Amino acid sequence: MQFDILTIFPNIFDSYLNESFIKKASDKGILKINVHDLRKWTNNERKTVDDSPYGGGLGMVLKIEPIFKAIKEISKKKKKTRIILFTPRGKTFNQKKAFQLSKYDNLIFICGRYEGVDERVATHIADEEISIGEYDLMGGELPAMIVIETISRIIPNVLGKPCFLKERMTKKGGFIEYPQYTRPEVFEPTKGKKWKVPSVLLSGHLKKIQEWRDQKMKVIEK
């Protein structure tokens, strides 16, 4: 799986891409993540990527020209490609969408900034618009990280052990979540107060443990 990220702040991704499972999967060649500086595709010495909006208003808007040039160059590299623009007006990202997107060879993410992106990018360039929630952010970089991690988790061998996916994923691409506990068996936050692990988890009775998990689990397949 290849991810291409188009942003004007490429350094934001440095620490994220160099830690944990994402780093390990990249080193193994399971994932390939390219962060592209949009300024590379500008046509003046100041590397201008934005301009004031038509009709007036506060802030600046990312221009269509550098985005068009970048996508034209980047999208040549893979056949099964999906171009995604992150915007609060997009459809809300969920596990079902992550499963659908995991079937592509290459995902290209356009990270907006400032007051947004020229609407012609959404209309003529992006295949779809995605939001990670009904709130406003400074840009699309955090959404890109969230989508990368969610998709990467369901790509075989990224987590290291296939059984992780088998246990927690559903056939429809959703996931299963239930309460988890570990040592100590009894935790005392203050004198006289005890927080205990449910006794069934200490019983060693696998059938009863599974029944307890079935009762407590939440299945998310939206």
- Dump pLDDT digits (tens) for 183-210: 999 999 999 999 999 999 999 999 999 9
Structure tokens at 16: 């994220």
Residue 22 CB partners (closer than 8 Å, separation 6+):
16, 31, 33, 148, 149, 152
* Sequence spans of domains, the chain: 2-153, 178-220
The Cα 110–Cα 122 span in angstroms is: 10
pTM: 0.90
Of the candidate CATH numbers 3.40.605.10, 3.40.50.300, 3.40.1280.10, 3.40.50.1820, the domain formed by 2-153 belongs to 3.40.1280.10
For 54-101, the pLDDT digits (tens) are 999 889 999 999 999 999 999 976 679 999 999 999 999 999 999 999
What span, in angstroms and rounded, lies between the C-alpha atoms of 17 and 145? 9
Joined tokens for residue 213: 């998990």
**Secondary structure (3-state) at 59:** coil
* Residue 219: band (very low, low, confident or very high) from pLDDT cuts 50, 70, 90: confident
Q: Which amino acid is at 103?
A: K
Render pLDDT for 126-161 as a digit per residue (tens, 0 to 9). 999 999 999 999 999 999 999 999 999 999 899 876
Distance CA 202, CA 190 (A): 23
